Amino acid sequence: MAVHRMDNVGIVVDDLDAAVAFFTELGMELEGRAQIEGRWADRTVGLDGIRSEIAMMRTPDGHGKLELAKYHAPTAVGADSGDPPPNTLGLHRVMFAVDDIDDTIARLRTHGAELLGDVAQYESIFRLCYLRGPAGIIVALAEQIG
C-alpha cells in the first residue's frame, strides 16, 4: 500500500496566537482551530491528560498544511539547547516558496522573525534564506529568479 498524501506538519508552539499571526503574515490561511482532549487523544499521542488547542494553517494552493499546537496539559517541554542550529538532528525547518523574499522578510520581522544568515543567491535560479520564527521554528524562504 502506498502513502496517499502528506497531510500536515505538526509544530508545538508556546503562543498559538502569535504563531497563527506569523504564518498568516507569511501568506498561509487559517483553516480552523479546535480543542483537543480526551482518551482518544491520550491514546494517539501516548501522553495522559492531554488538553491542547490546535490551529490548522493552509498554503494558498491548498496542498500544504501546518498544524500548530499549544499544549495546556501536560505542559510542553523545551528543546535542550534553546534555539537549536539548522544542523540539529530531526525535523528542523519548513520551507516556503515566495514571490518577493525581501518583502516577506520585512513583514515577518514585525512578528519577531530573525534572519539566521544572509539572503543568498543560488546560481541564477533562487534567492534563499533561513529565518527563526515563533517557538524557535526555522523557516526557509525561496524566491525563484531564473
| Cα–Cα distance measured from residue 68 to residue 21, given in angstroms and rounded to the nearest whole number | 11
What pLDDT digit, counting tens, does each position of 37-92 carry?
999 988 988 889 999 999 999 999 999 999 999 999 988 877 665 666 656 656 66
Q: Quick one: which of 93, 107, 99 has its CA closest to 127?
A: 99
**Cα angle, residue 106 at apex, residues 104 and 112 outer, rounded to 5°:** 105
Q: What percent of the chain has pLDDT over 90?
A: 66
pLDDT of residue 89: 58
pLDDT of residue 85: 66
